[in-house]
Structure 1
């Protein structure tokens, strides 16, 4: 039986733009910037302001697609070792989010954990969230942090600081070729 949260029914969104934002943040972290510098923040604000409502929805859906892709990769990697992705990934990411109170308010953590569990069980994060209403402005930064933390988790597991970005870029290239 097909779920109303089946990824086949979910809009992919602008995965390229979402990946650009996440990759930019990852590079900033690896360059030693733990805080977003004001110039980068201004550029991201200008970029998101230029999107308009449709573009913002596409960026949100793109971020959810990234979360789905990252969790799918993590699920397959953990299953290959006889482990459960929910047991090994979600608690670690939730604990990290709890240490980020300026970026991820405590009331957003259950939603982000739910997104991770939905994606980890093969459901679309955007369709899962949609059943509870539209995204709130307070959830935007936690959503970005969730995608960023997943990408960084994958990069650490593979000992390759660009693995997550490259994985998505290659998947997008294959999709374009098909």
Structure 2
């Protein structure tokens, strides 16, 4: 029996916009730029405002699609070594978020862990989240952090600082060709 939270029922959203947001943060961190959270947040807010009605929701769905794709890649990578992706990814993610109290409030961590667990078990993170109501303003930064940490985890595993971004851009390119 198929779950109503299966990815086939979810909107992919604006994956390109979500990827651009995460990739800019990855590059800033790796380039050693001292861009403050306030500056980055202002840029994100300006970009979100330019998306128009429904654009922010599309970007949120896109961020959840990134979580799903990254967790699928991580699941396959862990299964090659007979390891469970949830056992190895979620605790590290949660512990890292706990060390980021300015960006991720403690009450947001269970929701972000739930998104990752949903994706790791083959469910759509955005459909799983929607069962609890609309996104809150307080969840925006933790969502960005979650996608960033998953992308960074993949980049560390592959020893390639652009792998996670390339994974998505290649998937988007191959989807356009089909």
Secondary structure of 2:83's aligned partner: coil
CA distance in structure 2 between the partners assigned to 1:161 and 1:141 by the alignment: 22
Q: 1:92-111 alignment to 2 at 5 Å?
A: 92-111=92-111
Q: 1:4-153 alignment to 2 at 5 Å?
A: 4-33=4-33, 35-36=35-36, 40-153=40-153
CA shift at 1:35, angstroms?
Answer: 4.5
Deviations 1:94-134 (CA, angstroms, capped at 9, x unpaired)? 00000000110000000000001000001000000011111
The answer as to whether partners of 1:61 and 1:126 remain within 8 angstroms in 2 is yes
CA distance in structure 2 between the partners assigned to 1:37 and 1:94 by the alignment: 20
Q: Look up the match of 2:159.
A: 159
Gapped runs of 5+ residues in structure 1?
none
- TM-score calculated relative to the size of structure 2: 0.96
Deviations 1:39-68 (CA, angstroms, capped at 9, x unpaired)? 544332211112233100100000000000
CA shift at 1:148, angstroms?
Answer: 0.2
Deviations 1:22-44 (CA, angstroms, capped at 9, x unpaired)? 00000000011355366544332
CA distance in structure 2 between the partners assigned to 1:3 and 1:46 by the alignment: 37
Gapped runs of 5+ residues in structure 2?
none
- TM-score calculated relative to the size of structure 1: 0.96
The answer as to whether partners of 1:28 and 1:36 remain within 8 angstroms in 2 is no
Secondary structure of 2:33's aligned partner: coil
| C-alpha spacing 1:101/1:37, structure 2 compared with 1 (3 Å) | closer
CA distance in structure 1 between the partners assigned to 2:130 and 2:90 by the alignment: 21
The answer as to whether partners of 1:74 and 1:154 remain within 8 angstroms in 2 is yes
CA distance in structure 2 between the partners assigned to 1:66 and 1:39 by the alignment: 23
Secondary structure of 1:168's aligned partner: helix
Runs of 4+ in 1 over 6 A off after TM superposition: none
